[in-house]
Homo-oligomer: A and B are copies of this chain.
Amino acid sequence: MSKLRIGIIGLGTVGCGVYKTLADFPDIEIVKIAVKNINKPRSVNTPEGMITDNHYEIINDSSIDVLVELIGGVEPAWEYISAAIKNGKHIVTANKELLAKKGEELFNLAEEHNKVCLYEAAIAGGIPIIMPIKTILAGNNINKIQAILNGTTNYILTKMDVDGASYEDVLKEAQELGYAETDPTGDVEGYDAAYKITTLATLAFKKRVKLENVYREGITKIRKEDMAQANEFGYKIKLIANASIDEDGNADVRVHPMLVSNDTTLAHINYVTNAVAMSGHPIGSIVLSGPGAGEFPTASSVVGDILAIQAEFGTTDYMLPMMRCHHEHRANPVHIDDTYNKYYISITAPNAIGVIAKIGTICASKNISLASILQREVSENNTADIVVITEKCQERLIKEVVSELDNCVVNSLIRVAD
Contacts and interface: CB of A to CB of B under 8 A. Distances in A.
Contacts of A312: 316, 321
Given A126-B286, A316-B312, A322-B311, A304 B131 contact: no
Contact of A290 (B21, B130, B286, B317): B286
Contacts of A282: 17, 20-21, 126, 295-297, 299-300, 303
Interface in A137-164: 137-140
Nearest to A295: B282
How many copies of this chain are found per oligomer? Answer: 2
Interface in A270-318: 281-291, 294-297, 299-301, 303-308, 311-312, 315-318
A135 B126 contact: no
Contact of A308 (B21, B130, B299, B322): B322
Nearest to A282: B296
A304 B21 contact: no
Given A316-B312, A322-B307, A322-B308, A291 B300 contact: no
A285 B290 contact: yes
Nearest to A279: B290
Given A21-B139, A307-B139, A126 B284 contact: yes
Contacts of A20: 282
Interface size grouping (class) on chain A: 35 or more
Interface in A118-144: 120, 126-128, 130-132, 135-140
A304 B136 contact: yes
Given A132-B136, A288-B288, A283 B297 contact: yes
Contacts of A284: 126, 290-291, 294, 296-297
A184 to B, nearest CB: 24
A136 B126 CA distance: 9
Nearest to A317: B315
A268 interface: yes
A250 interface: no
Nearest to A141: B24
A357 interface: no
A133 B378 CA distance: 57
Interface of A: 1, 17, 20-21, 24-25, 120, 126-128, 130-132, 135-140, 265, 268, 281-291, 294-297, 299-301, 303-308, 311-312, 315-318, 321-322
Given A126-B282, A131-B132, A286-B290, 20 more contacts: A20-B282, A127-B286, A128-B136, A128-B286, A128-B288, A132-B136, A135-B304, A136-B305, A137-B300, A137-B304, A139-B306, A140-B300, A265-B265, A281-B296, A283-B291, A284-B290, A286-B291, A287-B288, A288-B289, A315-B316
6 contacts: A21-B282, A126-B286, A128-B286, A137-B300, A283-B291, A311-B322
